[in-house]
Structure 1
Amino acid sequence: MSFWFDPWHDNGPLNRLFSNQEIYRSGIPRVASVADAFSSPLGWYVINIMANWWEPLPEFNQQADCFQWIRHPSGHFSTASAWELLRPKGNAVPWSSFVWNSSMPPRYQTHLWLITRNRLLTQVLLFSYARIPAALCPFCLCRPDSVDHLFFACQTSGNLASFWAAKFNIFWRNKPWRENLDWASKRFSDRSFYHSLARFGFGALCYIIWKERNNIIFRNQTLFLPAMKMHLQKAIKDKASTFKRVQDTPKNRRLQQSWDLSPSIFH
């Protein structure tokens, strides 16, 4: 460990605290290690100055030099512990456990977070920044494609949401996005097969709507609602296939038949 350039002392790297002239006067080479400096009789100049600092000098032994991450009890550095140290902390929002639930893949989680934080680059948002001349919904060409319109006030996205709800035997009445999210967060809150698949389906529903919207705008593709429903059904069937030994209950059987899931999930 470098005596001059590594942060072995609480005050930080010593080369920031001593001038080049003082470093030269100390007699401690720039390439010296901490052990070299404290074992050399030439180090008295710097060491005497450091001894008068408020922070006591660390104790030294014959063990090899090592770095220790003091911000975690284990002493080991990790990006997670560094992020916990640096990130701004606030109160948990009521929808966090739903959006960041492990039943959804990261792309669905991030997409739901962007929607909820109003960070999704809708045409309405871009129009407010004067980036585009118009902001009509590419599905209906009638209303601006705000978050509330896309999820799910538009007839097309609302039709897909009703399809999702009917398959889960849920009564669906569209409301503004935040109310829809609060409802889903409370409605699908446990770890059962039904709730896990419904959470995943909600994330897939929103992701498919956004992806199809982008295909129409940027690839000039034609809207085809049956294809969106097939895409949603395939995503949910693929997710269901990852479950094993699902409890064989009337509710789960209805769900299996509704989405045409493989009966093998019960074995």
Structure 2
Amino acid sequence: MRWKKLSKLRCIAKQFLISFKVGGGKKIFLWYDIWHPEGCLFDKFGFRTIYDAGRSIGPKVSSIIRDNNWYWPSARSENLVLIQSRLPEISLGGENVPIWRSSSGKYSCSQTWEHLRPKFSVVEWHNLVWFSLAIPRHAFILWLVFRDALVPKEKLCSWGFTGSSLCLSCFACQESRDHLYFCCSFGRRVWRNIMADCCVYNPPIEWSSIGSWSAECWKSRNLQATICKLCFGATIYYLWRHRNDLLHGNVPRSEEKLIQQIKWDVRSRLVARYSAKICVIEEPSAGAEMESATDFEII
């Protein structure tokens, strides 16, 4: 980043810099830095005060210090009288030390980011999307689904798309987020099969209740909850890929192969994290048979 771009960030940096502890003042700007009890002198008093003081706009605080004492010509305006009257409050000597807006008074990247970033209320499903073992591509699609930011046919039709809006997996209803997850008969079978392998029976199929239900059931950090969250994200991801394959004329996976792929992704993630033995670790081939619920067991 060039110096000119960095200099444009001064106004942002001022939000975090409370003041300077003045030592010799050689590195502190007289008019633009926050060293005086009145704050930034230029921001508060403007160009007129600089003109009245008979000084340029770029001197350092050291220009008004001699022999460790304040040295400023006689004031010619009320603003300068105010500025000079508060100089005795500032102790001189030592080093120039910036005092930052943080608990320790020192600069902190994390606290600066917390101050800069937009703040919103915490959603109940955040731990389902972002957790240490989350698979990034799965987490991204799951985040889009929770935000209702995917573009199923229902949205395309509202934007002027003239084709059919029916779901390509069941041809029974209009394709929407709530239908794909998991009112569609195809998606519902995949969802229930994967959840049964996780020893979760009769999971909800209405998207409006899945978020709160899963956040409550899988809020712990144990292995079972982690596996369930991984399976949830993988199911969402591969159902969306299945939908795209149907829409764009690609050869879609069958229901059995889709379930096998979800299991393989979850097992691979667990192997990478725990370096444990998994019953089957090879990617499912075209002729592979559907595996049992024990495929998720770590031995």
TM-score, normalization: structure 2?
0.67
**Residues 209 and 195 (structure 1), Cα distance of their counterparts in 2 relative to 1, 3 Å cut:** same
Residues 148 and 177, structure 1, Cα contact 8 Å, conserved in 2: yes
Q: Distance in 1 between matches of 2:173 and 2:61?
A: 69
* 1:206 maps to which of 236, 244, 263: 236
Residues 237 and 259, structure 1, Cα contact 8 Å, conserved in 2: no
What's 1:251 paired with? none
Q: Map 1:95-244 onto structure 2 (within 5 A).
A: 95-128=125-158, 130=159, 132-134=161-163, 135-217=165-247, 219-225=248-254, 226-241=256-271, 242-243=273-274
- Give structure 2 stretches of 5+ with no counterpart: 1-27, 278-290
What's 1:33 paired with? 60
SS in 2 for 1:76: coil
Q: Distance in 1 between matches of 2:246 and 2:61?
A: 64
Q: Distance in 1 between matches of 2:249 and 2:113?
A: 44
What's 1:75 paired with? 106
Residues 208 and 232, structure 1, Cα contact 8 Å, conserved in 2: yes
* 2:90 maps to 1:59: yes
**Residues 172 and 38 (structure 1), Cα distance of their counterparts in 2 relative to 1, 3 Å cut:** farther
Q: Distance in 2 between matches of 1:105 and 1:189?
A: 18
**Residues 117 and 32 (structure 1), Cα distance of their counterparts in 2 relative to 1, 3 Å cut:** same
Q: Map 1:242-257 onto structure 2 (within 5 A).
A: 242-243=273-274
**Residues 138 and 244 (structure 1), Cα distance of their counterparts in 2 relative to 1, 3 Å cut:** same
RMSD across aligned positions (CA):
3.6
Residues 242 and 253, structure 2, Cα contact 8 Å, conserved in 1: no
Letter in 2 for 1:24: Y
TM-score, normalization: structure 1?
0.73
Aligned residues: 250
Query: 1:149 offset after TM fit, Å?
Result: 0.7
**Residues 188 and 21 (structure 1), Cα distance of their counterparts in 2 relative to 1, 3 Å cut:** closer
Query: 1:52 offset after TM fit, Å?
Result: 6.4
What's 2:282 paired with? none
**Residues 115 and 84 (structure 1), Cα distance of their counterparts in 2 relative to 1, 3 Å cut:** farther
What's 2:16 paired with? none
SS in 1 for 2:52: helix
Letter in 2 for 1:20: F
What's 2:31 paired with? 4
Query: 1:243 offset after TM fit, Å?
Result: 1.9
Deviations 1:24-43 (A, max 9, x none): 33133322223334556346
SS in 1 for 2:100: coil
What's 1:22 paired with? 49
Letter in 1 for 2:81: N
